[in-house]
Amino acid sequence: MCILSNNAIQILEERYLLKSKDGCAIETPQALFKRVAKFVSSNEEKNSFYETQFYKLLSSLKFLPNSPTLMNAGCKNGQLSACFVLPVKDNLESIFTTLKNTVLIHQSGGGTGFNFSKLRPKDDLVTSTNGTSSGPIGFMKIYDAATEQIKQGGKRRGANMGILNVDHPDIIDFIRSKSSKKTLENFNISVGITDAFMNAVIHNLDWQLVNPRTKKVDRTVSAKAIWELIIKEAWLSGDPGLIFLDTINISNPTPRAGTISCTNPCGEVPLLDYESCNLGSINLSKILKFHNDIYIIDWKTLSKTIHLSIRFLDNIISVNHYLIPEIKAITIENRKIGLGVMGWAELLILLEIPYASEDAIQLAKKLMSFIKKESYKASENLSIERGAFTNWKDSLHYSHQKLRNATCNSIAPTGTISVIANTSYSIEPLFALAYNRVGILGGKTQTEINAIFLQKMKAINLWSEEVESEVIKTGSIQHIASISKSIKSIFQTSLDIPWYYHLKHQKAFQNHTDNAVSKTINLPETATIQEVSDIYMTAWNLSLKGITIYRYGSKDHQVLQKCSLN
């Protein structure tokens, strides 16, 4: 069993370890990993063999599944998936049935995505009552209020993705809906963008907004004006992001089962209505070996880890407790899973490759294409052993490969599991070399210096009081004259890295990820509106599935803040 960091122990104790009625932890972290390994191997013929394998996988911190699996595996009616998309049709029955299902999902630790574009616009006619409709944003506020009140078993508040397509008559209000800091706080919002809209922006054409109830044109606006409003709001508050619906549907593996109109809250899994997906991430900082005094990637260990992780994630679909029959039906038909990574920035630091470099991009492509190839091999092996997913014959995979799972890979944010694994988030660069971590447990602020940075600086005799105080003050070493350019480039942090390198990393991982990549393009406070426009446009040109930016300081509350003693 790997030694856990203090942060990991604290988070596990607060949120993940089983508790007695009076709130005391009744299991150790080791027992948690045993509980999960035992339950997730319970469908195996050789279950004690796989229980041991899974226990080793988890307790070595080489791989961790998404939070609901760690929290709920082996518990009565344990719901194990993180990602859901639910339909919202244009009637109160559907709106409130979905709200009820949402609350149940949040209570179990899952997050939900909704595309509200089928709802008639605000003030449109409601014939049954001779009244007028509240419109999508009015109903989103009700969903938001429900989310606010339902804490996940007292552990964390739920998360939602809200999407409105760019041709909905209420799109302007939607784009502005998070302008005021206190509204829709439990939603990430994204505009559903089509290629037709992007062409209209580029050619400065008119754009029609269409009432989804009557299918008639409500009014015509300038595409460019909508684009500029999106950009201004994103610059101001980080919302809205974009999701590129045409790009997503080109790689929809099961088009006959439906069109995809939505993703889960952080965007890494495009899903059909009622579909769910369970995620897991490989800790890249644990797949290195020391050879002739330098670190190199241990491809053999990586391959073994991938095969076992895919089996683990596929088992979850079989042993999971499904909250409603509709979710069970489509999830079992497609068996979508999302194996991703965390610790990418730390791997690059250990290999001494700057994040903002072509070497890093080339390695990202090589690494993720290996992960995808091995994931598909593992899924193919499972299809031989257990059968292909039900919709396989109707899927895009049919002419290529027999698979157990309609999708295999997603790059999730790993917001909590990377803290448990004590590594850097997902494929993000280090946010800062020292930071105040606020609010992870809603408690007091803690100052931390990144351990790998500290270890490296000490190893090369560069750690001094001067460096320490600068790092604690600014979170960066970029302004310390005595440190060489090459060391500085290895330790560039999120805000030091030019935005196009953030995008290049997203693209490199997206190219070898069948679902999607959750990535935030972090920008300094000084970033301009034009830069945000360039980023969103480049994201579409690169055929990314979605894009989110965050300009430092543009939200009241940030989980991670650059260190400041002032």
Closest CA to 194 of 226, 238, 220, 217: 226
Phi (first) and psi of residue 520, to 5 degrees: -105, 130
Question: By C-beta, is 63 or 207 nearer to ligand ADP?
Answer: 63
E strand map for 184-272: 187-193, 206-210, 217-222, 241-244, 262-263, 270-271
Q: For Cα atoms 292, 355, 419, give the angle at the middle one, nearest 5 degrees.
A: 85
User: Can 264 be counted among the known catalytic residues?
Assistant: yes
Closest-CA residue to 347 (of 328, 360, 366, 357)? 360
Structure tokens at 141: 């506020």
Binding site for ligand ADP (CB under 6 A): 66-67, 82-83, 110-111, 156-159, 264-266, 268, 279, 412-417
| Alpha carbons within 13 A on the beta-carbon side of 344 | 31
Catalytic residue among 83, 266, 408, 563: 266
Sign of CA dihedral 376, 380, 386, 392: positive
CA distance 340 to 371: 8
CB 117 within 8 Å of CB 192: yes
Known active-site residue 385:
no
Cα 522 from Cα 475, distance rounded (Å): 15
Catalytic-role residue among 252, 264, 436, 450: 264
Residue with tokens 């990535």: 519
Report the residue number, 277 or 306, with the smaller CB distance to ligand ADP. 277
Six-digit token string for 489: 């480039």
* CA–CA gap between residue 536 and residue 190 (Å, rounded): 12
Print the SS3 string covering 100-129.
HHHHHHHHCCCEEEEECCCCCCCCCEECCC
231: part of which helix (H) or strand (E)?
helix 223-237
Q: How far apart, in whole angstroms, are the C-alpha atoms of residue 75 and residue 246? A: 40
d(CA 51, CA 175): 48
For 426, the token pair is 């997902």
The structure tokens listed for 32 are 């948690």
Which tokens belong to 71? 């929290």
* Orientation of helix 92-107 relative to helix 135-149, angle to 10°: 30
The CA-to-CA distance between both ends of the chain, in Å, stands at 40
CB 407 within 8 A of CB 514: yes
Q: How far is the CB of 214 from ligand ADP (least distance, A)?
A: 34
Four-CA torsion 61, 62, 68, 69, nearest 10 degrees: -100
Cα–Cα dist 310/301, whole Å: 14
Look up 268 and say whether it is catalytic: yes
The catalytically annotated residue of 51, 233, 268, 380 is: 268
Q: Which helix (H) or strand (E) holds 320?
A: none
Q: Of 425, 305, 251, 334, which Cα lies nearest the Cα of 85?
A: 334
Catalytic residues: 264, 266, 268
